Amino acid sequence: MKKVVIGMSGGVDSSVAAILLKKQGYEVIGLFMRNWDSSINNDYLGNPNLNNNICPQEQDYNDAKAVSDKLGIPLHRIDFVKEYWDFVFTYFLDELKKGRTPNPDIMCNKYIKFDLFIKEAKKLGADYIATGHYARIKDGELMRGIDDNKDQTYFLSQLTKSQLENVLFPVGDLKKEEVRRIALEYDLITAKKKDSTGICFIGERNFKEFLKNYLPSQPGKVIDIETNKVVGEHQGLMYYTIGQRKGLNIGGNQDKMFVVGKNLPENILYVCFNEDNDYLKSDSCLVEQMNFISDLRPKKCTAKFRYRQKDIDVTIDYVNDKEIIVHYDDVKAVTPGQACVLYQGDICLGGGIIKEVRKENKKLWYLL
């Protein structure tokens, strides 16, 4: 009997993945990763939206344990708190300091879930590892999950072929409602549990208040890019992302205000009051840290510049092994620091990090 070590997160997806693996005849072992210590960081105490008697990750562990006990599988626990800080959270903070918009979940998959986790699983004698990601592997290619609304290949775009060897994605062939139905049939504690949101392993937070624990606020001017007039004051460029409209809290007529750019040296946040403005639009971007999962190198394919965005038709110029230039018709809010992930049909070709945003071959000065 082949042995599978599955990452049990305390959520419904990994719970059902464990059920499916057992039904397929595998010997299943659960492994819970603890990657964040809220008690040390003191970043959840006093938050009225959280249960202060138990930190969120401890509740996740309790749920994972309850599911494992019910399914009759052992559950091991491993701490990657230091490694998460060194490889993921430090990257997150460094990118924010540069005024960029990082995606820590992608780096968490690269360095934690599909690196350190795999090494730990092998110590437990794993023939395969499994997770609750909505993705598939077919003929050596990473494929989108069947559920278009839940597909998570965007977050797996920095993985290598070797990291994906002997990996199983049991729920990748299911839609979310089917996963919920299976969990209800087994009367699992996670069946109706809300999907996790927020930063990977850190969870939901008041973003600005959370970041104040690590990055000091640096207030500055908010300027209307069309009139060059000061229209408010921001609390720090790291709190805002390109295209943002809600939760600005910067004064002025915010109902019609859009973030369109940042000037890091002068600590200026640029906004516009015209939804159809050209400042949010670009027609190409330079992508660095490019990671190719597939051997395919099409000239034309599709891309996503953020999760759940509809596919954008693009043309690719291959600069070198780690850089590409992506061309597209006018697209709004392509943002430095975010991931650009390429697809050919259902195949995830790989992805990289947006370094520069351009229009008519010129770098947009207000986009860093």
Q: Which residues are identified as catalytic?
A: 108, 200
As a dihedral over the C-alpha atoms of residue 329, residue 332, residue 333, residue 334, rounded to 10 degrees, the angle is -10
Place of tokens 């640029």: 270
Q: How many CB atoms lie within 10 A of CB 186?
A: 15
User: For every residue of 15-50, which 3-state class applies, written as one string?
Assistant: HHHHHHHHHCCCEEEEEEEECCCHHHHCCCCCCCCC
Cα gap 127→283, rounded to integer Å: 45
Q: How many CB atoms lie within 10 A of CB 295?
A: 9
- Tell me the HSE value of 257 on the side-chain side, using a 13 A CA sphere: 25
User: Which stretches of 271-367 are DSSP H helices?
Assistant: none
Contact 269, 249 (CB under 8 A): no
Residues present in the chain in total = 368
Place of tokens 């050596």: 140
Of 129, 131, 185, nearest to 162 (Cα)?
129
Q: How many CB atoms lie within 10 A of CB 240?
A: 23
Class of residue 120 by CB neighbours under 10 A (exposed 0-12, middle 13-18, buried 19+): middle
Q: At what angle do helices 12-23 and 56-71 cross, to 10 degrees?
A: 20
Paired residues of 286 in beta bridges = 325, 356
